[in-house]
Every structure is written in C-alpha cells, then in structure tokens.
Amino acid sequence: MSDQPLHPDTVAVHAGRSDFAALGVHASPIDLSSTNPLPDIVHGGDSYESISTGGHPLPEGGNVYGRLWNPTVARFEEALAELEHAEESVAFSSGMAATTAAILSHTTAVGKHHVVAVRPLYGGTDHLLDSGLLGAEVTFCEEGEVPGAIRPDTGLIVLETPANPTLDLVDIAAVVEHAEGVPVLVDNTFATPLLQNPLDLGATMSLHSATKYIGGHGDVIAGAIACSAQTAQQLRRVRAITGSLLHPLAAYLLHRGLPTLPVRMQVQQENARKLATLLQDDPAVATVFYPGLDDPRGIVGRQMRGGGAMVSIRLTGGYAAAEALTGAVRLFTHAVSLGGVDSLIQHPAALTHRPLPPDVRPGADIIRLSIGLENIDDLAADLTQALAATPEAASV
C-alpha cells in the first residue's frame, strides 16, 4: 500500500479496528462489563490510580471498573481521533457532558475562572455558561470582540462554527491567533470531521455532539472531544470523577455509524444546498441561512470543505408562519436534534434556545431544518406546500 495518507472516507471505514484481527472478529465487540477481574492487588491499584487520574489502564487486567474505562468506547475514540487528525479523543455520555468536562478542565480545575464565549452558540452550551453552575465567569461576545474580551484569568475560548441556529461562520485560525495561547474549544457538530478539522487550524479541542451526524440514526446520545494526549488526560480525569463515560452500547453504535458518515454527509449536503437555493425564491421566506450563500471571507472552501446539511430560514410571516409551517409539513418531522437520516424541522426560540435571555434568543420568525437522505424532489415538494400554508404566503 502507498505511504500516502488515506482519504477520510477510507479512514471512516477502517479506523478503530486495529485489534480486530488479533481478537478474531470483523465487527466491533461490545464489552458490557461493569467491573473487571484483577490479577493482583498491586497491579489493580496501580491501574486504578492511572485511569482515575486521566491516564490509560495498565495492560493485562487493568481495566478495573466500567465508570473509568471500556474497550468498546476506546475503539470509537481511536476512530474519531484519526478522523479529526488528533492524538486522542475522549467520549462522554452526552454532548453536554463533554462540554462540561471541557469547561471544568480548563477553568476551575486549573485556577482560571473566566471563559470567553462567541455567540451564537447551541442553546444548551449558552445556558450552561450563563447559569454559573460551573463556577466560571463568562464574557459573551462576537468574533471580532475576542481580543478585547480576553483577561489574565481566561482559561478557555468557546465557539461554534457553523453556529446554531443561524449557521454563522467563525474564522477559527483568526480566533486562535487572537487567543495568544488561551485554549480554544470549537463545537464542530454541524460540520463533522468530514468538512472541517479545527485542530489543523490551531484549536485545542474539537467537540461533537455525537448524537447528531456521528451517530446519524437518531438512536444514541453521546459527546466526544478530539484533542492532544495531554488535553485528553485532563478530560478523562473529569470524566472519571463525574461518571460521564459513554455507555459501551452507544460507543458500538457510533463506531458502526462512522463508515457511512461520508456517504450520508455527501447526500445530505447536496440536498441542503439545493433546498437552500430553492428557498431563496419562495415568497414566504425572508432570509435563507446556509454556509456559502453569503460568505465574503471565503470560509467555505478555505476552512470548510462544503456547506453542510443544515439550513435555517427567516419567515416573512413571523411567529405565526413558523407555527403554521411546523404543523403543515408531512415528510419533515417536527422534533429537536439534527444530523439523522430523516429530515427534521424545529423552532429554536421555543425549544433548543428557550433557556437563553430574550435579548439573545433567536428570532421567533426563524426555523431550523436538518436535511436528511430523502429524495430531494420529495423534500422540496413538502416544504413548498407547507410554506404555501403560512399566513404571509396565503395573502400574497
């Protein structure tokens, strides 16, 4: 085989399978053990200390306990790390558990109590930071305000690109440059490792709500962070203490879903691009938010390898139109979440971003669409008929 780096779609199929031949298996084994036999007291104790402080288990009987380490989870972590061009990745029981670990490990755990957060962000992340529950003081700002927001006690900069729900794009490399050494966490959920690799641009951590595109089938809750080995140890320490290790069955489902991520994303992205173009001409739609439609800095093509599969729209008929649209669709499922094989529609202000203060909440006229694998003509027809039922469109 050539020494050339493998393409991402090949990596997605083969990553995390390095021990399969020795095990004599072709599909990933699921280890559901909650506890593990120990060869002796010394070996068990040394391994327990290693993994409870964020390290790896000792070989030959060192897994100890299911809250601290699981081989099925470790295989998924190995696969995601390879896709993200990272030394390691750390998997959690949810995206919010991953976010919590990232914040704690870079703020209170190291005596830094300030976070800079670039809005817009996923509503759960924004709410967590704004709540003060983690003991961090937060400065919310726009991308251009990051340099002025950093303080001597800033432990972390948090951003999301494309951002939820209006798909704003942030120049990761520019933020890293302005950070001047302050760790940068990038929520890479919408882009996935197929379209964007934040670590290649200098970010410290690339976070995924793996519930979304990584899982891709709406049947698993998970989070993961790709990062350096040193950062991974910090994250695993928090994970061990807080008990937020991903369940092995969920890890199996995620690892099984990775090989189809490239083909899923290819079709979903093409569907989204076509729908975004179509929606621009619909009289019921005031604005279409989709990466690449309005991108004066050329981030798509330079930082991202495509616009992704999320589309958001602002309706001319305001909240009444949003309410009518979510009730009139037939193929789109009215539900939160995203990234699955079927198309979803939701109202961010009423749902995912409802806990935010009213002045920063998305507009009541904004609808978010997660585009799935259905035939594009069927999706277009469904949206067209549903938009025709909105109050503003009915009066045109």
What's the CATH code of the domain at 356? 3.90.1150.10
Instruction: Look at residue 148 and tell me if it is in a domain.
Output: no
Instruction: Look at residue 368 and tell me if it is in a domain.
Output: yes
Other beta carbons less than 10 A from residue 98's beta carbon: 30
Instruction: Look at residue 297 and tell me if it is in a domain.
Output: yes
Alpha helices in 84-223 (DSSP H): 95-106, 123-131, 146-149, 172-179, 192-195
Domain count, the chain: 1
Catalytic-residue membership of 212: yes
* Distances 266 to 307, 345, 367, 371 between C-alpha atoms, Å: 11, 20, 23, 11
pLDDT of residue 327: 96
Residues 56-83 pLDDT 10s: 999 999 999 999 999 999 999 999 999 9
pLDDT of residue 360: 78
* Distances 285 to 92, 293, 365 between C-alpha atoms, Å: 38, 15, 10
Residues 292-340 pLDDT 10s: 898 999 999 999 999 999 999 999 999 999 999 999 999 999 999 999 9
Q: Which residue in the list 212, 237, 273, 361 is annotated as catalytic?
A: 212
Q: Which residue in the list 48, 112, 119, 122 is annotated as catalytic?
A: 122
Instruction: Look at residue 123 and tell me if it is in a domain.
Output: no
Instruction: Look at residue 328 and tell me if it is in a domain.
Output: yes
**Distance between CA 249 and CA 260 in Å, rounded?**
18
Domain range for residue 318?
262-395
Q: Which residue in the list 17, 67, 151, 256 is annotated as catalytic?
A: 67
Instruction: Look at residue 339 and tell me if it is in a domain.
Output: yes
Catalytic-residue membership of 67: yes
Catalytic-residue membership of 187: yes
Instruction: Look at residue 337 and tell me if it is in a domain.
Output: yes
Catalytic-residue membership of 122: yes
DSSP designation for 4:
S
pLDDT of residue 353: 82
Mean pLDDT of the chain: 95
Instruction: Look at residue 40 and tell me if it is in a domain.
Output: no
Q: Calculate mean pLDDT across residues 144-155.
A: 98
pLDDT of residue 396: 43
- The pTM assigned to this predicted structure is 0.96
Q: Which residue in the list 187, 282, 365, 382 is annotated as catalytic?
A: 187
